[in-house]
Amino acid sequence: MDKKTRVAVIGVGYLGRVHANIYRQLDNVHLAGVFDTDEKRARSVAADLGCESFSSLESLLDNVDAASVVTPTNTHYDITQTLIKKAIHVLVEKPICESYEKSLELVQLAEKAGIIFQVGYLERYNAAVIELGKHIHQPQFIETHRLGMFVERAIDVDVVTDLMTHDIDIVLSLIQSPLKTISATGLSVLTEHIDIANARLEFENHAVANITASRVSSKIYRQMRLFEKNHYYSLNFENQQLTITSTKSQCRSNDDIVVEKPEVTPQLTLNAELSAFIHSVNTGKTPLVDGRTGLEAIRVANLICKKIHER
């Protein structure tokens, strides 16, 4: 029988306990244990999942091959650095760190250590995003909205760093051209950080992305619209559906317009992401969102925040 990958989850709050539960169910994984500075929480999750509750980060280092870091963003740097120094493969939740500089340090450290370093941009595993990738050629205008209600989590960082980075990451993966200019606006509404923001990214190939993120909305709304010659794509992140509106090379009437909804089977994005991580650990395959890719998203997020603060 193949050896199972021993995995730990660090931080078992809202998302970390889901990571742990998924690892527990993966055939080729042994959930070695969890660690959380909230000991009571760690013990409760460990009891539920039938795994060990480590008493410190240090105590798990010799017992695992890989780990998910699912703690607040401002703790990612110290924890991830400790793991990399022990050559433990890491899946760090998005964003890598709040600053580009710290994120770069971790990515370079991981490259030197030769470990798998994956960043948790789970929308890349959204079935509609995967389907979009099979159709789109050269988007010229992208508009995205990622709006959510206020929750008392992730308020250690602003909405650009927390939520908008998902869309920045997808936009950068679709528009393969250097970024030329950024203009942005945003404000803090409920917290001391930016809670709602809009950024306009212009690329050297003349493509434009208009990205909006909010954590002070009255409902959840996650949509992306993409336009290119003869095609308009409308993507709904929540129900993982894609609509493609196309026209013949020259549209003269409504009869020339065709609307299709490709057959897309929604998938559990986090399960797909964690399975892919374990696959990379076992095969050495570069993750879909590796350190350098995650770094680009935070670099652009930092530039957007700088523009907002300059206004």
Q: Which is nearer to ligand NAD, 12 or 175 (CB)?
A: 12
Q: Which amino acid is at 154?
A: A
Interaction of residue 12 with ligand NAD, rule CB under 6 A: yes
Query: Residue 66 in 3-state DSSP?
Result: strand
User: Which part of the chain contacts ligand NAD (CB under 6 A), choosing from 33-41, 142-150, 251-259, 292-300?
Assistant: 33-41
Sign, CA dihedral 54-75-81-287, equals positive
Please name the residues in contact with 271: beta carbons below 8 A apart, sequence gap of 6 or more: 22
Q: Binding to ligand NAD (CB under 6 A): which residues in 149-188?
A: 153-154, 162
CA–CA distance, 188 with 169 (Å, rounded to integer): 23
AA letter at 89: H
Question: Could you tell me which of 278, 266, 253, 284 has the C-alpha nearest to residue 126?
Answer: 266
Interactions with ligand NAD, residue window 115-134 (CB under 6 A)? 120, 122
Q: What character string, x for contact with ligand NAD (CB under 6 A) and - otherwise, covers 51-90?
A: -------------------xxxx-x---x-----------
Q: Which residues contact 102 (CB under 8 A, 6 or more apart)?
A: 77, 96
CA dihedral for 164, 167, 168, 169, sign (positive or negative): positive
With CB under 6 A as the contact rule, the residue among 41, 86, 225, 231 that binds ligand NAD is: 41
Out of 22, 34, 46, 94, which residue is the one contacting ligand NAD (CB under 6 A)? Answer: 94
Q: How far apart are CA 107 and CA 101, in angstroms?
A: 10
Q: In this structure, are residues 204 and 180 in contact, taking their beta carbons and an 8 Å threshold?
A: yes
Q: Measured from the CB atom, is 23 or 35 closer to ligand NAD?
A: 35
Residue nearest to ligand NAD (CB): 13
| Residue 43 binding ligand NAD, by CB under 6 A | no
CB of 179 to ligand NAD, least distance (A): 23
65, 93, 169, 195: which one contacts ligand NAD (CB under 6 A)?
93
Binding region for ligand NAD (CB under 6 A) out of 12-20, 212-220, 251-259, 283-291? 12-20
- Sign of the torsion angle spanned by Cα atoms 235, 214, 210, 291: negative
Where do contacts with ligand NAD occur on this chain (CB under 6 A)? 10-16, 35-38, 41, 70-73, 75, 79, 93-94, 120, 122, 153-154, 162
